[in-house]
Chains A and B, each alone.
Chain A
Amino acid sequence: MTDRKAKTNSPSGEPRPALPIVEAAVSPEASSRPLWRSLDELTGSEEFWVWARREFPHGAAEFGDGVGRREFLRVMGAALAMAGLAGCARPPQTKIVPYVDQPENIKADRPLQFATAMALGGFGTGLLVRSNEGRPTKIEGNPSHPASLGAAGPFEQAAVLQLYDPDRSRTVLHDGNIEPHGAMLEAVLEEVERHRPEQGRHFRLLTGSVTSPALAAQIEALRATLPAMKWHQWEPISRWSIHQGAQLALGQLAEPDYRLENADVIVSLDYDFLFLAPDRLRLTKAFTSRRRFDQVGFLQPNALLVAEPTLTITGSMAQARLPMAAADMKWLAWTLGAQLGLGPSPARKAEGGVRLWLDTATAALREHRGRSLVLVGPGQDAETHALVHALNQALGNAGQTVVYRQPAAAQPVDHLASMAELVHDLESNAADGIVILGGNPVFTAPADFRLGEKLGRARFSLYLGLYEDETTACCRWHVPEQHFLEGWSDVRAVHGETSIVQPLIAPLYGGVSVHELMAAFLSQPAAQAHEIVREFWRQRLVPDGDFEKRWRQALSDGVIADTATPELGTSTGGGSLPGSARSEETAGQGYEVVFAPDPTIWDGQFANNAWLQELPKPFSKVTWGNPAIVSPAAAQELRVQNGDAIRIRHQGAEVEIPVWIQPGQAARTITLYLGNGRSRAGRVGDGVGVNTYRLRPSSGLWFCRDVEVTRSDRHAELAQTHLHHSLEGRDFFRVLPLTAFAQGKRAEGREPDPEQNQTLYGPASLNTAAYQWGMVINLTSCIGCSACVLACQAENNIPSVGAREVSRGREMHWIRVDHYFEGDPANPQVYQQPVPCMHCENAPCELVCPVEATLHSADGLNQQVYNRCVGTRYCSNNCPYKVRRFNFLQYADTATPSAQLVWNPQVTVRSRGVMEKCTYCVQRIRTAQIQAQEENRPIRDGEVIPACAQACPADAISFGNVADPKSHVSRLKTLASNYSMLGDLNTRPRTTYLARVEWDANPPASPCQRDTA
């Protein structure tokens, strides 16, 4: 699938291709309207005429597609055979292959679940993994794990696809040549011996941040043999400033543990805690627990105020959002502090919107002492963090809404300094033997360190990695790493809760466990990961004698009891409020660049994961690439449209990158997502997007000021799933003011929904079953994190189609998260709305299907029968919600064997030419029905949970039997805020929405251009 390459990546400046976003072409009168359709409208509508002149631009370009001659003949044969035989062919004879020795408890349709944990940035999240006949097929959250609480984000859920990735490295390499495993072990032993005389003064270990107790112990053991060795750590998304800030404020390194459920007022300074925090799932649950509005009495919502450079899902939940350059954040913090009587007030005074926002925040915080919280993001420096810690102390929030804990990491260090030291040692030949345990540092390290070429100087360099990636290319030895679903280990959550990582499948590609590799350095080349971890914990878990029992307990729970890191006193002992030396800094007049982890591929480690590449990024809904996020103002100044490329120069580095114009972006801030533009990711991730690490200097890991930005003449087609971000003044997304909700006002639409059976035919009661399934989606608590989209994809064997097909409007996701903007483009109101199939009782799609491929079941499901569908696509045309998806080509990969291992055997794999859509996870419903019927009991409320609802960290999706008035979902549907989307069409959808409840006070008007006092 080479067509996934984004155009800007090809060095040759190809002719500027057709404007893809013709969708944005609009009537001239649009710009005068208060409501705007999309930003291109505001910036005038030349494309309109460009398009008009070009009539149908893509025409000729497409001529080549289809197939090569030989291929063509082959497929033709197949097609004609199909055409001919479809009628009268009888199925081919197949074989049954029973076991030689039937294993216990492995049953065809009875999947098993195992508890394990996945580490991201070193911190673990507890998971339950479903295994069908020994194949891990689906990853779900572990309810008993504090960092998951039953939810799972996109990264965790997509890990199962990574497991089967055929591009993962399979062999030990030495200078690029395949070597036997044994040779590597010998080399390792040799290397250790080489360093023993000098106690390993020249030996270096480079890891990510390590929380695994077992691994930490091994590293210590290695230290014992080589006392003079150095252990370096590098995480591109480091949390050091948080810890260091705590050091300044509290006198010791600490990890703040936020109790959002207790906070009435939350003020976040450049902290996307719903996405960036290691325990984001827990925080999301806690945060949205105050946003449910799911009972009449509920009226203690929390208020969120956010100041941030770029629109994040956190910012989208804010009542008062202030777009502001990252470089100004410090000044903002100090000003806020000063207003709350803490520290000196900066000379520069706030004005306009900033003033308004500050006053709102100050007032709110004052009002809710002890029940408020101020947070600041890892991108800000330690001083700011210290100030904020102090601020929370002063407001009496410490101990209430935030407690401080020891960091869970085995050895928290300043990753930047650590990496700098390593690079220096390599340069000065002080280090000539280095072992890298995962993490692909060559790709992620600051550009100016040039780690890659420095590594070449080491005599011995060994890299343990999942893929043969950029780092492999710079190391002499490459060792294939085990996927976490393949091997034993352990990992701690951000607050220390420890889980045993247990494998669900034997290593597919002969990967090596990190523990085994370390054991080799400890001269125990034969040691098994299982034994190592088990032995380690045998010593820890002794207290009551029965180790086996506790071990099994730990495995089945997925978390080891009371392993959380101890709380620290909340006194500001030792720590003193740091001076506000640099608090006067401003972003200045130039452009500012902010670096952020990619919303779907994080720091680049998921670049080869098709599910994540194709997961639409929040707001922009861009897939397969990372356009630079610019503000409407900047776009006007640079005269660029979506997809037009710009050149960014900073400290000699330069990248050329297409832009996405983001409403709510700080005026002169450009946000670059990291992790894209991989050169050695694999067949999926290679060359997707632009490598922005090239621009990321050690001096400004998180943001740089005064970068040089110029317009380039190139253009890239952004593969977007959603091109049109205006509500068009329609009522499918409904908002209730808080007061109205309090008074129990209904979420009225323009037209009242028709009464039941308000039809020409009169009553037709065809939903005869005892159970009537229905769904409610809560628009107030949904944060738009897309966990549901990925959960659905994994559960229902939904193929990913690639950038080209997405840009042609053929993505396959059964549930999508729509984003709409309203109001001032500089700081708009943001709405998100998950849209699955509505399972209408009067489904328009059913009426028009000529072959009964889509019909209504007695329990109210809008069924889609793939094997009956002939693909007229009429149903999709007639679906007002456009939730149906069509296999325009053969999307399901039936060719790659390992790609099929991930399929859920309970769901049919769809072939070319067939319509598909959300089924309410009918396979789960039927399984539950059979179970209940067997046990002679009714299905319990909450027993059937669709994948999307199960994954949702905000509990925004509820599902159940609407025929039972006592069920949770029925209760929600009785709320006044409950409404049917497009209900006036008399479709009678079974999926209804709880209107978004908004604070009556409008968010403060935003500063359209920065006030530079």
Chain B
Amino acid sequence: MKGFSGIYGVMGEFNSEGALREAARSAREHRYEQLDAFSPLPVEGLDEILGRTGSWAPAWVLTGGVIGGLTGYFLQFWGVGINYPFNVGGRPLDSWPLFIPITFELTILGGAVAAVLSLFVLNGLPQLHHPVFAVPGFERVTTDAFFLCILSTDPGFDPLLVRRFFMQETGAVAVTEMRR
């Protein structure tokens, strides 16, 4: 950090998910912690290698769903039972079976909204400007190029070492240093 605050990290480009996986693995072997990988498709097993598994999304969805459901039921119960009680077709005011469909739909809605929000928030999107976009050839990350990045926030980060690592230990076809 101290010396390299101007640097975001060093990026190595690879030609296949296999190569990427290898690179990531050896990076971990070299005690690099702050890694990030970029790929045109989810690369199997990469998360495990990078040591970041699991996601908060399920929790979000659960909360959203519960909130939606409760809102749905109480909106109905209060609306027709308490706020303005009506005699509708001789049905009792608390005719709960008739409240099920709306409760259900709102549960789903709440969950879905939460899911989308989680996607945005957890991924920090939208993020139109980002240092990695400056990397030459990065546009191919959405086609067929794979990248591994060692961040400057890594305790053992040193641009020179990292570059050497990429060029000698991995099959990087190109290595780039990213400025903030």
A residues near B, CB below 8 A? 759-764, 766-767, 840-847, 852, 855-858, 988
Is B97 a contact of A847 with CB atoms below 8 Å?
no
Contact partner, B86, options A759, A761, A840, A852, Cβ 8 Å: A852
Q: Which of B14-22, B25-33, B87-95, B155-163 contacts A (4 or more CB under 8 A)?
A: B87-95
Residues of A within 8 A of B88 (CB): 846-847, 852, 855-856
Is A764 a contact of B86 with CB atoms below 8 Å?
no
Chain B, 69-93, CB within 8 A of any chain A CB: 86-93
Is B97 a contact of A766 with CB atoms below 8 Å?
no
Residues of A within 8 A of B91 (CB): 761, 764, 842, 847
Residues of B within 8 A of A847 (CB): 88-89, 91
Is B92 a contact of A855 with CB atoms below 8 Å?
no
Residues of B within 8 A of A841 (CB): 90
Closest 4 CB pairs of A and B: A764-B92, A847-B89, A842-B90, A766-B87
Is B86 a contact of A858 with CB atoms below 8 Å?
no
| Distance from B120 Cβ to chain A, minimum over Cβ atoms (Å) | 32
* Nearest-neighbor residue (CB-CB) of B90 within chain A: A842
Contact partner, A767, options B87, B89, B92, B95, Cβ 8 Å: B87
21 contacts between A and B (CB under 8 A): A759-B90, A760-B97, A761-B92, A764-B90, A764-B91, A766-B90, A767-B87, A842-B89, A842-B91, A843-B89, A846-B87, A846-B88, A846-B89, A847-B88, A855-B87, A856-B86, A856-B87, A856-B88, A856-B89, A858-B87, A988-B90
Render B87-123 as a binary contact track against A, CB cut-off 8 A, 1 for contact.
Answer: 1111111010100000000000000000000000000
| Distance from B81 Cβ to chain A, minimum over Cβ atoms (Å) | 12
* Nearest-neighbor residue (CB-CB) of B84 within chain A: A852
| Distance from B129 Cβ to chain A, minimum over Cβ atoms (Å) | 42
Q: Bound state CA distance, A988 and B87, in angstroms?
A: 14
| Most chain A CB within a 10 A radius of its CB, from B90, B91, B92 | B90
Majority secondary structure, A binding face? loop
Is B92 a contact of A856 with CB atoms below 8 Å?
no
Is B87 a contact of A762 with CB atoms below 8 Å?
no
| Distance from A421 Cβ to chain B, minimum over Cβ atoms (Å) | 69
Known: A760-B97, A761-B95. A855 touches B86 (CB 8 A): yes
Q: Bound state CA distance, A841 and B92, in angstroms?
A: 12
| Most chain A CB within a 10 A radius of its CB, from B87, B88, B92 | B87
Residues of A within 8 A of B97 (CB): 760
Residues of A within 8 A of B93 (CB): 764
Residues of B within 8 A of A842 (CB): 89-91
Q: Bound state CA distance, A840 and B90, in angstroms?
A: 9
Residues of B within 8 A of A767 (CB): 87
| Most chain A CB within a 10 A radius of its CB, from B88, B93, B97 | B88
| Distance from A872 Cβ to chain B, minimum over Cβ atoms (Å) | 15
Residues of B within 8 A of A766 (CB): 87, 90, 92
Residues of B within 8 A of A844 (CB): 89
Q: Bound state CA distance, A807 and B90, in angstroms?
A: 35
Residues of A within 8 A of B92 (CB): 761-764, 766
Residues of A within 8 A of B90 (CB): 759, 764, 766, 841-843, 856, 988
| Distance from B37 Cβ to chain A, minimum over Cβ atoms (Å) | 52
Q: Bound state CA distance, A855 and B91, in angstroms?
A: 11
| Distance from A340 Cβ to chain B, minimum over Cβ atoms (Å) | 59
Q: Bound state CA distance, A249 and B110, in angstroms?
A: 93
| Distance from A223 Cβ to chain B, minimum over Cβ atoms (Å) | 71
Residues of B within 8 A of A762 (CB): 92
Q: Bound state CA distance, A764 and B97, in angstroms?
A: 15
Residues of A within 8 A of B87 (CB): 766-767, 846, 855-858
Residues of A within 8 A of B89 (CB): 840, 842-847, 856
| Most chain B CB within a 10 A radius of its CB, from A759, A764, A841 | A764
Residues of B within 8 A of A759 (CB): 90
Chain B, 41-95, CB within 8 A of any chain A CB: 86-93, 95
| Distance from B160 Cβ to chain A, minimum over Cβ atoms (Å) | 68
Known: A846-B87, A855-B88. 17 other contacts (CB 8 A): A759-B90, A760-B97, A763-B92, A764-B91, A766-B87, A842-B89, A842-B91, A843-B90, A844-B89, A845-B89, A847-B89, A847-B91, A852-B86, A856-B86, A856-B88, A856-B89, A858-B87
Q: Bound state CA distance, A852 and B89, in angstroms?
A: 11
* Nearest-neighbor residue (CB-CB) of B94 within chain A: A761
Q: Bound state CA distance, A844 and B87, in angstroms?
A: 12
| Distance from B101 Cβ to chain A, minimum over Cβ atoms (Å) | 13
Residues of B within 8 A of A843 (CB): 89-90
Residues of A within 8 A of B95 (CB): 761
* Nearest-neighbor residue (CB-CB) of B97 within chain A: A760
| Distance from B155 Cβ to chain A, minimum over Cβ atoms (Å) | 61
| Distance from B134 Cβ to chain A, minimum over Cβ atoms (Å) | 50
Q: Bound state CA distance, A762 and B96, in angstroms?
A: 13
Q: Bound state CA distance, A858 and B85, in angstroms?
A: 11
Q: Bound state CA distance, A856 and B91, in angstroms?
A: 10
| Distance from A778 Cβ to chain B, minimum over Cβ atoms (Å) | 26
* Nearest-neighbor residue (CB-CB) of A988 within chain B: B90
* Nearest-neighbor residue (CB-CB) of A842 within chain B: B90
Residues of A within 8 A of B86 (CB): 852, 855-856
| Most chain A CB within a 10 A radius of its CB, from B88, B89, B92 | B89
